[in-house]
Structure 1
């Protein structure tokens, strides 16, 4: 089947296009918040270290809360959980901006960032759990294409989000981007919840039957968590280091453009990944894709100019979406029945925690040493992720779709 036909068949599936369109505004905040918090705190506190710390607080809270929210959705239903959370997130974001503009201490801002991150609904994980239902009557081999399309969309969000943030930062203030973010979330979420696959959400009879470990009973989910954490560290460090690189070369505002180029590279890689049918061992494929990541990040510390950084940032992004898409498909395959939404959140949680730690470490490195040291830290995260995937890829192979190991298994 040709690439165009694969994507066309996914988009022709019932409600697929409407669902994707509804997701776009609801997921744009993911592309806005990280850079907007960094630029907002850099503008109003004067410190990259403070900016990185508050961004890290936001990201860590988001990461920790996502599996808990996913488990609640699996057990209680979708709309009943996400609507109250979205409202609480909005209140926390408005408070963060208001107190940030009034010169509140960094600790207070970090606390508000924790609340804002903890209450942000994991729309990406929710959407990924819907695709097997949407494609139920289609070719099962199209799921990888659908998840690749999801990956491309989130990368486009990471292109548009930094560009919107950079534009608002130049024309108004980074605070404007932080206020726009919850508005987009609420508007998109209202459209998302109206879609038939969402309204007909059914709670599995197996939900709640896997004990306190839930989806983590699967060794494959635990491997994805381990591999994705240093990967997220790499990406989080990039979100701070690319703006710092631009500032070091006399153009602070170019950071948003470089982040957009980096995400565009990931989107290109995702489109190529989804264009073909993949066969063979999924775990081995994931390990090979992870092994490509360090190749893109090692040269960044040597970039002599902004013009040289543009193609290097594009190259660094190429392997991101394919690796994450392969991991997402594996997460759905190895999830214990009744834990699908939670299972999809665990790699995201690991990624977000890595992003937060990477943002904090890169901020400290930029402040204490220079941007080159921060880029080397990015590459180190990518190398560690590749090594872990190479060592543990066999745990991603499951004979049956719902294989689990005992909860006391210590093979984390």
Structure 2
């Protein structure tokens, strides 16, 4: 235990590390708000989980599709010149979605605005992960896995507090309140993030733009991470809709955010345990083993008879999430082409977010036409696909030199 605390303490003692984490926290809190907030808001104003899931899927798909493009722009043009105008457009689009939703416009208009909002949100997680090797390079280069685990734990805590905050605001004020607050947090957090010394010292690499149209996709490892992360995202997205549907089925709709938060808390526990260890085995093998454990937690959820039992099962189901994604993030940095690091980190994120979006949509349809149990089964099936792909392609994740072929 003392060794674990010391590893995290050493990361936080690195110059600027603690200040950077604190500065980016409010700007990243919206990722824990937007998905559930869109579902609750659209469910309130359209009366349909299928429609709510579709709008949330539009937002998530847009985030996923544009993140690599934004990452490539950052690598080539600099950080502040890209994230500031994009964040402003994102805020305008999300507030317009709220205004239109309150005016009872057709679902198609809400979908279009959700797509616009998602398309312009900057990939702050990928930016932060790309900065950790730079921050640790001179002081603690051997602690990258711990730093990325700390990053993952922070994300999971965001996914704990975000849904709780979303549910509380939706119940106490209005379902529109979280969607109004979210862009304010992003813009306010950016003001603190962009003035941090490591951010101001961001330098465009001499190799930026030298990898052709494929960019970071020249790496076979990045392509494998895309393939394995998409079904993981589907699993997580299905649960984002299934857990609220289960809460409503049990007659406790306000507890939707609590269940999602408990699930994310399980992931945070797993992430802390992962970062506390000094790993000696290859990251590629570790990633495949963790992916194999992921689906085991989701089948039992379909048998949950009550809210307390579902909370316990969701906690256990979440334990492998952060360790698996953290191992994948470390691999992304290892296999990234030089000068395309930010873009490299965005590709698995894109795949994850796109998978979440499709999972939102499919689970919405399943819950609407069948039962919440079908959402759990779909989540388990998708996680199994991810485990199979990781087992088949783990050798491409070994950090080998970038390949030149374009084929997948």
Q: CA RMSD in A?
A: 0.7
Gaps of 5+ in 2: none
Is 2:229–2:348's contact at 8 Å kept on the other side of the alignment?
yes
Show the counterpart of 1:197. 198
Is 1:237–1:378's contact at 8 Å kept on the other side of the alignment?
yes
How high is the TM-score relative to the length of structure 2? Answer: 0.99
Question: Do structure 1's residue 327 and structure 2's residue 328 form an aligned pair?
Answer: yes
d(CA) in 1 for partners of 2:349, 2:217:
13
Aligned length: 407
Q: Cα distance, 1:398 vs. partner?
A: 2.4
Q: Cα distance, 1:174 vs. partner?
A: 1.3
Show the counterpart of 1:365. 366
Is 2:331–2:399's contact at 8 Å kept on the other side of the alignment?
no
Spell out, residue by residue over 1:248-304, the C-alpha distance to the aligned partner (whole angstroms, 9 max, x if none). 000111110000000000000000000011112211110000011011111000101
Q: What does 1:238-387 align with in structure 2 at a 5 Å threshold?
A: 238-387=239-388
Show the counterpart of 1:171. 172
Paired residue secondary structure (1:391): helix
Q: Cα distance, 1:43 vs. partner?
A: 0.6
Show the counterpart of 2:56. 55
Q: Cα distance, 1:379 vs. partner?
A: 0.4
d(CA) in 1 for partners of 2:405, 2:50:
39
Is 1:213–1:407's contact at 8 Å kept on the other side of the alignment?
no
Paired residue secondary structure (2:298): helix
Q: Cα distance, 1:307 vs. partner?
A: 1.1
Paired residue secondary structure (1:208): coil
Question: Do structure 1's residue 155 and structure 2's residue 156 form an aligned pair?
Answer: yes
Question: Do structure 1's residue 33 and structure 2's residue 31 form an aligned pair?
Answer: no
d(CA) in 2 for partners of 1:324, 1:271:
13
Show the counterpart of 2:217. 216
Spell out, residue by residue over 1:36-70, the C-alpha distance to the aligned partner (whole angstroms, 9 max, x if none). 00000111110000000000000000000000000
Q: What does 1:12-23 align with in structure 2 at a 5 Å threshold?
A: 12-23=13-24
d(CA) in 2 for partners of 1:242, 1:122:
26
d(CA) in 2 for partners of 1:407, 1:106:
42
Q: What does 1:56-71 align with in structure 2 at a 5 Å threshold?
A: 56-71=57-72
Show the counterpart of 1:97. 98
Is 1:86–1:120's contact at 8 Å kept on the other side of the alignment?
yes
d(CA) in 2 for partners of 1:301, 1:233:
16
Paired residue secondary structure (2:96): helix
Is 2:14–2:140's contact at 8 Å kept on the other side of the alignment?
no
Is 1:141–1:277's contact at 8 Å kept on the other side of the alignment?
no
d(CA) in 2 for partners of 1:61, 1:363:
18
Q: What does 1:398-409 align with in structure 2 at a 5 Å threshold?
A: 398-399=399-400, 403-408=401-406
Paired residue secondary structure (1:121): coil
- The list of structure 1 runs, each at least 4 consecutive aligned residues, that deviate by more than 2 angstroms after superposition, is none
Paired residue secondary structure (1:104): coil
Show the counterpart of 1:233. 234
Show the counterpart of 1:187. 188
Q: Cα distance, 1:138 vs. partner?
A: 2.2
Once the two structures are overlaid, the 10-residue window that deviates more, 184-193 or 134-143, is 134-143
d(CA) in 2 for partners of 1:372, 1:267:
25
d(CA) in 1 for partners of 2:48, 2:290:
36
d(CA) in 2 for partners of 1:36, 1:328:
27
Spell out, residue by residue over 1:365-400, the C-alpha distance to the aligned partner (whole angstroms, 9 max, x if none). 00000000111001011100000000000000124x
Spell out, residue by residue over 1:80-126, the C-alpha distance to the aligned partner (whole angstroms, 9 max, x if none). 00000000001001100000000010111100001100000000000
Show the counterpart of 2:11. 10
d(CA) in 1 for partners of 2:393, 2:312:
32
d(CA) in 2 for partners of 1:177, 1:64:
24
d(CA) in 1 for partners of 2:72, 2:146:
26
Q: Cα distance, 1:78 vs. partner?
A: 0.1
Paired residue secondary structure (1:253): helix
